[in-house]
Structure 1
Amino acid sequence: MSAAVLVTGATGTTGGRTAARLLAAGHRVRAASRRAAPVPGADPVRFDWYDDTTHGDALVGTDRVYLVPPVGDPDPAAVMLPFLRRARAAGVRRAVLLSASAVPEGGPAVGQVHRALPELFEEWAVLRPSWFMQNFTGDHAHARSIREDGEILTAAGTGRVGFVDADDIAAVAAHALTGDRAPGTDLVLTGPEALSYDDVAALVTEVTGRPVVHRHLGYQGMRDRLAALLPAEFAALLAGLDRAVAEGAEDRTTDTVRRITGRPPNSLRTVLEREAAPAG
């Protein structure tokens, strides 16, 4: 029997889509989540980054792993690197890490895992997607404020972002996990165009029929709003990412999705038409 791909975060935004693509292509998948939630066609397995008693069983029969870092942890390397060393000893030969376009190798948080990955595995890739298009359609704060208040609140000003479809991230992840050769590099993933939040609000209005506006709060306003919901340090980090957008840090597009998958990345309009509920 062929070895399986372990997909961490298998019920999440990219993990679930990656597992589905792998299964559709005929690969065995061990779907890892904290509650071992059923994933059709996969072998569910309980996995918690913070409970190393779950790590050994998750690795049984696997030779490749898709790594979704623990959400909101400012130092994910503390739990991820011991697991990755254990994975290598257990026979895992390829690892694909989900990072972010805003986090370079050696940077904060998952950037430290990015730096260590090539030393641990000969076959590896780091996916660095831009902001998700699903932030406007799912359970993200932007999607909720669109539905509840008809507004998107940011500190991004007129800065532009190459928003990317989570389906495209999953398509690249599946290729990176199962292709004859691992990419052996980091891959910055974007959609086909860079858009401001004003552009996004106009597009959501057009597609859904729900009037939506973008409200620019500025760094301090955004930080204070988030601090009411999140730890102060994390709120400052997120507001700082918006400020970087305002300064042009994410105003770019790449050809990575097309180059890896052979097809162009999906547009935000396509994703909104597929996933956003109409007004009323």
Structure 2
Amino acid sequence: MTMRFLITGATGTTGSRVATALTAPDSSEQSATVRLASRTPAPGTRQVRFDWADPATHGPALTGIDGVYLVPPVGDAEPSRLMVPFLERALDAGVRRFVLLSSSAIAEGDPGAGEVHQALRELTPQWAVLRPSWFMQNFVTPGHLHGASIRTADEIVTATGQGRVAFVDADDIAAVAVRALTDERPHNAAHLVTGPGTLSYAEVADVISKVSGRAVRHRSVPMAEFRGRLVAAGIPEAFAGALAAMDDSIARGSEDRVDAAVERITGRAARSFADFAAQHAAEWAATP
């Protein structure tokens, strides 16, 4: 039986990887087809018009769908106001399986994605919540604050102090998501998805320095200053405040933990930051 999935956030860091994994020619999930949600779908593609804030786009996107990969709307500090009604529409449309991308920093019932997590568990028959740690890709993506500051200022600025994080590769997150979408038995569980070890941001800067040939440093600033940097970068104030508070929580040790979910669910070990950095060294390489 061919399973049909709607991928929200389909052009994003994890959504694009989930879609690729489900449709790759050598994928073990060759019986899956995907529909890619986009606010501006390209003609002649698998993209379908979808806007979290426009319920009129939800019905057509959900028609004939078995499962949905849920990525909260970017920059929205209160995604449940849009996502919970969408869950109810999806259930009415016959969707039964849902996989939500949340965060290791957000527990069930917490403001934001935590409220969606709770609704998913209470309303849907087949569900999984992915709670990944911070993405390794944040350090190489030019559009991310860290990726940009490494390239322009040879520094990573946070409010994390000496706090440690088990950074995770987005490819590993996507691999867990694919299993949660396609496994015959629904997971009906939340998965803490981390890399194999924890690092401080200063240690991350050291690794990047060694592989790139440039002297990258970590500069820790007060939480209020970091929030201001996020707002100046165009992040909505409420969401910037939530992100800054997460950095402060890291400084107090909240993310100094490792979970073997990647290996337990996919059968292969999570990728280390050292391996990730070696692969992406050219993207950081100092300009001659």
- Taking structure 2 as the reference length, the TM-score comes to 0.93
- What's the secondary structure of 1:264's corresponding residue? coil
Give 1:212's aligned amino acid.
Answer: V
Percent identity among equivalent residues? 54
Cα deviation digits, residues 51-107 of structure 1 (max 9, x gap) = 111111111121111000101111111111111111111111100000000000000
The structure 1 residue matched to 2:246, chosen from 241, 244, 256, is 241
Q: What CA RMSD, in Å, does the superposition of the two structures yield over aligned residues? A: 1.5
The unaligned stretches of length 5 or more in structure 2 are none
The structure 1 residue matched to 2:107, chosen from 98, 104, 109, is 104
Structure 1 residue aligned with 2:286: 279
Moved more, 213-222 or 128-137: 213-222
> For 1:1-280, what aligned pairs fall within 5 Å after superposition?
2-24=2-24, 25=27, 26=30, 27-37=32-42, 43-138=46-141, 139-229=143-233, 230-276=235-281, 277=283, 278-280=285-287
Assess if the C-alpha contact under 8 Å between 2:77 and 2:242 holds in 1. no
Q: In the TM superposition, what is the alpha-carbon distance from 1:129 to its structure 2 partner? A: 0.3
Between the aligned partners of 1:13 and 1:224, the Cα distance in structure 2 is: 25
Moved more, 164-173 or 82-91: 82-91
Give 1:279's aligned amino acid.
Answer: A
In the alignment of these two chains, the number of paired residues is 278
Cα deviation digits, residues 185-234 of structure 1 (max 9, x gap) = 10000001100000000000011112100011122321233333334333
Q: In the TM superposition, what is the alpha-carbon distance from 1:271 to its structure 2 partner? A: 1.8
Q: In the TM superposition, what is the alpha-carbon distance from 1:247 to its structure 2 partner? A: 0.3
Assess if the C-alpha contact under 8 Å between 1:49 and 1:70 holds in 2. yes
Between the aligned partners of 2:276 and 2:42, the Cα distance in structure 1 is: 26
Assess if the C-alpha contact under 8 Å between 1:164 and 1:189 holds in 2. yes
Per the alignment, do residues 268 and 38 of structure 1 end up closer, same or farther by CA in structure 2, a change over 3 Å counting?
Answer: farther
The unaligned stretches of length 5 or more in structure 1 are none
Cα deviation digits, residues 133-170 of structure 1 (max 9, x gap) = 00101121000000010000011010000100000000
